[in-house]
Amino acid sequence: MSATPPLLEARGLVMRFGGVTAVGGVSMSIGEGELRCLIGPNGAGKSTFFKMLSGQLLPTAGEVLLRGRSIAGLHAASIARLGVGVKTQTPSVFDGLSVLESVRIATNAILPPNLARRRADEALERMQIGHLAKAVVGSLAHGQRQLVELSMVVSQAPDLILLDEPAAGMTGREVERLGDLIIDLVRTCSVIVVEHDMEFIRRIARTVTVFNRGVVLAEGPAAEVMSDARVRDVYLGKEAA
């Protein structure tokens, strides 16, 4: 094979928890600079899939290849160092720290002090929360905290960013801005984003992958996938109801 491998490839990923199959054999390929949306009802296996990509969970079966190199089974920190950043669904910011201190924790972990300082400042500017640098995280609105977490990921300059429900708790205006920020991000890296907000998906989506019951139900251009009868049945219909 002479073709360059994709940035990320999942092959037949399976995750079982006891008798529960959370992910039942998912294969997916993400290219350099690609923005992919992942949707699907609650419990479909989206977060579990992310955790296998980022090393938080060891797959029961299957492979994860980063530029052709197998990474499933590596520690989360090693995968992060190889260029995969993740913003989890559950908040991972410390209420007592300032916004800048929070981001500095992320950059200090991988960079020498001078560079760490600069990258942290740049990340806050890029996520448009430079004015909040000194604010205590615990005093921020939920949507702003999401941007702090996003800044922490961005500051490490990953090649692939996994975002699990980044728009949760955001106002309409904030969701719009987040969409623009993510579109800006894919100028320099690839992004996979799990989101429920359909306005957001329509706004940013190129290729959409739909999960249901641990498998891929549909994949394709946003408009096509959203008019797919099976997708409407399991997901969009439910949302409208």
Residues forming contacts to ligand ADP in the complex (CB under 6 A) are: 17, 20, 22, 40, 42-48
Closer CB to ligand ADP, 43 or 62, in the complex:
43
Closer CB to Mg ion, 89 or 108, in the complex:
89
Closer CB to ligand ADP, 16 or 81, in the complex:
16
77 binds, among ligand ADP, Mg ion, none (CB under 5 to 8 A by kind): none
* 21 strand-pairing partners: 16
Q: Which residues of 34-71 are buried (b: 16+ CB within 10 A; e: fewer)?
A: bbbbbbbbeebbbbbbbbbbbbebebeebebbbbeeeb
Using CB under 5 A as the binding criterion, the count of chain residues that bind Mg ion stands at: 3
44 binds, among ligand ADP, Mg ion, none (CB under 5 to 8 A by kind): ligand ADP
Give residues 28-87 in contact with Mg ion (rule: CB under 5 A).
46-47
Residues 186, 190, 156, 144, Cα dihedral to 10°: 60
Closer CB to ligand ADP, 45 or 143, in the complex:
45
> Considering only CA atoms, which of 110, 120, 56 is closest in space to residue 86?
56
Residues that bind Mg ion (CB under 5 A): 46-47, 89
